[in-house]
Each structure stands twice: as structure tokens, then as C-alpha cells.
Structure 1
Amino acid sequence: MKYDIRLKIVYEYRSAVIDARHLLRVRPVSDAAQTARNVRVVIEPRAGEHQRDGDFFGNDVDTIAFFVPQTELCVVMEAVVAVQRARPRLETTPDIETLASDALATRSANGASPLHHLGPSRRIAPFADLTAYVAETLVEDARPAGLAVMALTKRIREEFAYDPAATSVGTSVAEAFAQKRGVCQDFSHVMIAGLRGNGIPARYVSGFLRTEPPKGQPRLEGADAMHAWVDVWLGDDAGWVGFDPTNGIVAGDDHIVVAVGRDYSDALPIAGSFVTAGPQKTDHFVDVIPIG
């Protein structure tokens, strides 16, 4: 499937920003499952410094800095992305116990290693109640780990309510789990924390969802903004496989990856620091249009 994608992020400052430095993770990745072409990032006002680089997890990062006063920042990313994601063979994955043991035995230390996605991170810390909740599904029987994670994905979809008014960007995993309401970021953090608590490597994925569903299929939740889902490491053969707990499905050709990391902090579309006074306002606009 091929998509024409446009992301617009706007910040408005009540008082002028006099010094600002930001990291942008807005460019879709190119890998075995998707190819990004004609990628263009436009920044207004023009940055005093602008460099492109990659981070530890392989994300494409634009580093920008401003040295003159500004009252607004606008970032626009446009790209054409082709996605052809193979359907994972969940039934051929190891069982949960074997998978957890294999993860600990991994010797690779690069950004894609499961070792970096087993423990606590800045926004995620496993805790007993959530670990037990997830264990109920994972160890229900001796089925392959891929099928167990799929069952967990569907359980979160069924038992958690999609409610944008229920949480904010600062809502903790414990709070989201307790109220079982929130958005894709909350559900992804809950699922990651629960899996890590049971020894299963899981990472956060930031990206886009197809806006227009195929004929006869329901519209997916979260398609009007940047979306989040979970990659789970299912062994050396299967590798990282995407699961979308917001919609209870395996990530497929409707999912376009932009960035991955231990949690939302590693995959923020825009991060950094600036000097100003007073509040700020931000808006995100996303268009994902199928073109063939």
C-alpha cells in the first residue's frame, strides 16, 4: 500500500522564545517493511542551525536551534510511503518461558537488541498488579508467545476504553491501568510495562495510521493524529513484531512507522528545550491518504 502523508506541528508562545533547541523525529523510516520517498521537512521560522542524524535506536533525527526571538514554531513533514508488511507467523514462535530465557541470553548490544527493552525506562516501570494482569493472559496455556501476545492485545482493546479526555501526556502507567481509559500512548505503555514485568522485550512505536479504512472495514481509533503501538520481540526468527492494543490487531499495512524506543520519551516527534515565559499552545494535524 502507498500513502501520501502530511504532518503539521504548530507551537504558539505567549511570550517570545529567545533560545530554543529541538530534536525532531518526524521522518518515516525506510526498512524491510516500508519505504519512504520524497521526504520533505519544512521549518518556520528558519532554524539558525539544522542537522540530520540518527539516534541510538536508528530513528532519523533533525536537530534544530534558534537564536533569534520567535512567537511560533511550525514543522511540516511530507512524504510518500509504501508499506508491505509481511503477516507474522505467530503460531511458530517460542513459548513464553523460552522466549524470556532467549531474551536474557542475547549478546547483541545495538539499538534493536531486546536487552534494552526489558527493564524500566523513563516513563515505564513494571509493577505487581499490572505484571499479574498480563501474566493471566500470557501463561494461560502453553501456546506460542506470539499467540499469547495477540490475546493480550485483544484483551486490552476489549477492557480499556478509548477516551482522549481521560488522560494527558503526563499520565503515568499506573494511572492509566487503574482507570482503564485513555489513548494509544497509554495503552501502549500499559502493554509494554506488563510484558517487561513478565520478561518479554517490548518497545514503543510512534507513527501514523491509515485515515481511510478499506471498504467494509471499520475506521481505526487514533487515525486523526500520530498513533502509537507496541513492538514485541518474539525470538531470533520472528524478530520485532508490531501489535496495536488500541485496535486489538497486529500492525499491518495501515501502520506507518516513524520512530521506536523504550517509551514515548525516545520517540517524541518534537523534544528539546527553550527559554520563554508564560504558557504555550500546540496543535498536531495529520493526513494519511492512500494513493495506490
Structure 2
Amino acid sequence: MLYDISLHMLYAYDAPASNARHVIRLMPLAIPGRQELIAGSLDFTPSPEERNTFADFFGQPTTSVMLRAPHRRLDIRMQARVSVEARPVTGTSTLLKRLPQELAALWSLGAASPHHLAGPSPRAPDTSEIADFAKDFARPDETVRDIATALCERIYHEFSYDGDATHVDTTPQQAFRLKRGVCQDFAHVMIVALRSLGIPAGYVSGFIRTIPPPGKERLEGADAMHAWVRVWCGDDVGYIELDPTNNIPAGTDHIVVACGRDYADIAPVVGVLKGSGSQKIEQGVDVIPLQ
């Protein structure tokens, strides 16, 4: 699939802000065999006094900007053309009972190592309630892929999508108790559950194309940033990606921006500034298929 993607984020401040430093992860990745970034641009108004691009721990391009002068609003615009290919899962997924041996035999600590995704992380800590929930899936003679797929389906059916129930700082435990939330919450709950079973799992941030109901026009700006889960299924298969919000494997409608342990590693925009009062944030995303 070939897509044109555009995103607009507006930060409006009650009082002028200054000395703002932001780290931005909004540009889709180039992933060999999965996703090609054909062209892309990232623009800011006002223009930052400093702008740098660097690779984060996971080797992903990241933009850092500094705006020293007072400003009452910050506009961020991203445009990209991306080609996404279907990547079938090949190989045989490891049985859960054999996964510890495969992990122990893997010495690499490179960016793609599952060891980084095996233990608790800042936004996906060990949670006894979620671990108890996951025990139903602790079937040693089943494959990791089958267990992860079943857990994805369970979250989809037992949790309700509710954009007003949670916020960006809601913990997995809080979302689990509510049984409500958004894609970020469902991804974090699934990650914590999988890790409690000894299965390495991480957070994927990106875009998803939304398809309007039959007979309805596609609404401009109705698409959204999205989150889903990557799961390490052993040496033979490697990683698969599952979307618990929609109970589907991530496919050609999923465009990857960044992968990390949890949301804290790869938040789309994070930073600090000097100011007072509150801020208002608006966002619009268009994911337009070209073929």
C-alpha cells in the first residue's frame, strides 16, 4: 500500500512560553522489507533556533528542537509518503516452555534484542492484577504466537474503547481495573501481561488508516496516531505485531513510527518549557491511500 500521511499538532499556551526543548518522533520509519519512507518533511512554526536529528537507543531517527524566544503557540506539521508491504509470518513459533532457553542463549544486547523487552519498564511495571489475569494463558505446550494472539483477542472483547476514561498518564493497572481506555492503554496492558509470562513484548507507535462505514465519506483529519504491540516469538519467527484495539495482526494499514519498551521511550512529542497557565492541544491526521 502507498500512503500520503499528513499530521498537524497545535500547542496553544495561556501565556507565552520560552526556552522550550522538545523531542519529536512523528516521521514514519524506513524498515527493510516492511516499510519504505519515500519522502518526508517535518516543519515547525515558529522556526526553532536549534534543530538536530539523532538516533535514539533503538536506532530510530529522532528530532530535537529548541525554541528560546517567547511564543504563544507551536505548530508542528509532518508530511510523508510511505509504502507499506505485507510481511507474512514465517517459521515456527517457539513453545512457551522453551522460550527461556532461547532467551538465555541469545547474547546480543543490540537495539533489536528481546532482552530489552523482557522485564518491567517505566510505563509497563510489574502488576500483580494483570499477572493474575495472564495466568489463564500460561500454557507451556502452546506456542508464544498462539498465546499472544489469544491474549490480544481477550483484551479486545473484555475492554471497551473510551477516549474519556483515561489520559496519557494512566497506568496499566488503572486501565485494567477500568476495563476501558484507548489504544495506548490496551497496548500497555497486553505488554505487562505478556512479560509476566516471560514473553518479551514492546510498544509500537504509528498511524492507522481508518475506513469509513459503507456509504459514508471519509472525514478529513479523522485518522489518528495509534499504538499496538510487538511480541518476540523465538529465534525462528522473531517479532510479530498485534493490535489489541482492533484484534488484528498489524498489516498494511499500520504505519510504524517508532518501537520501544513502552510509551515513555517513544512518545510522539515530549519536552520541557518555561511558562505559566495551561495549554491546549489539537491534532489532526490524514492517512490517504494512493493505491
**TM-score class, shorter:** over 0.9
Equivalent-residue separation in structure 1 for 2:213 and 2:237 (angstroms):
27
Contact 1:12 1:72 in 2 (8 A): yes
**Alignment of structure 1 residues 84-233 onto 2, 5 Å:** 84-89=85-90, 92-139=92-139, 142-212=141-211, 224-233=223-232
Spell out, residue by residue over 1:66-117, the C-alpha distance to the aligned partner (whole angstroms, 9 max, x if none).
1111111111110011101312248x20111212332243211112111111
Offset, 1:134: 1.5
Query: Once the 2 structures are TM-superposed, how far is the Cα of residue 119 of structure 1 from its aligned partner?
Result: 1.2
Q: Classify the secondary structure of the residue corresponding to 1:73.
A: strand
User: What whole-Å deviation, never above 9, does each CA across 1:170-218 have from its counterpart, x for those lacking one?
Assistant: 11111101111000000000000111111110000000001237989xx
- Matched AA of 2:82: V
SS of 1:18's equivalent in the other structure is strand
- The question of 1:264 aligning with 2:263 is answered yes
**For 1:186 and 1:152, how far apart are their aligned partners in 2?**
14
- 1:30 maps to a residue whose letter is A
Cα pair distance change 1:101/1:202, threshold 3 Å: same
Give CA-to-partner distance per residue, 1:140-197, whole Å, 9 cap, x none. Answer: x622211111111111111111111111111111110111100000000000011111
The percentage of aligned residue pairs carrying the same residue is 43
Q: Could you tell me the TM-score, scaled by structure 2's length?
A: 0.93
Q: CA deviation at 1:55?
A: 0.3
| AA at the equivalent of 1:122 | P
User: Which residue number in structure 1 is paired with residue 65 of structure 2?
Assistant: 64
- TM-score (ref. length: structure 1): 0.93
Structure 1 CA distance for aligned equivalents of residues 110 and 59 of structure 2 = 9
Matching residue of 1:248: 247
CA distance in 2, matches of 1:113, 1:45: 39
Q: 1:6, 1:287 within 8 Å by CA — same for their partners in 2?
A: yes
Q: CA deviation at 1:230?
A: 0.3
Unaligned runs of 5+ in 1: none
- In the alignment, structure 2 segments of 5+ residues that lack a partner are none
Match of 2:31 in 1: 31
**Deviation of 1:8 (Å):** 1.1
Determine the C-alpha separation between the residues in 1 that align with 2:154 and 2:243. 11
1:46 alignment partner, SS class: coil
Structure 1 distance, partners of 2:272, 2:209, is: 32
2:54–2:61 contact (8 Å) kept in structure 1: yes
Secondary structure (helix, strand or coil) at the match of 2:257 reads strand
Contact map agreement 2:129 2:173 (CA 8 A) in 1: no
Shift in Å at residue 239 of structure 1?
1.4
CA RMSD after TM alignment: 1.8
Are 1:11 and 1:72, in contact at CA under 8 Å, matched by a contact in 2?
yes
**Cα distance, 1:237 vs structure 2:** 2.1
Q: Do the aligned residues in 1 keep the contact of 2:97 with 2:141 (CA within 8 Å)?
A: no
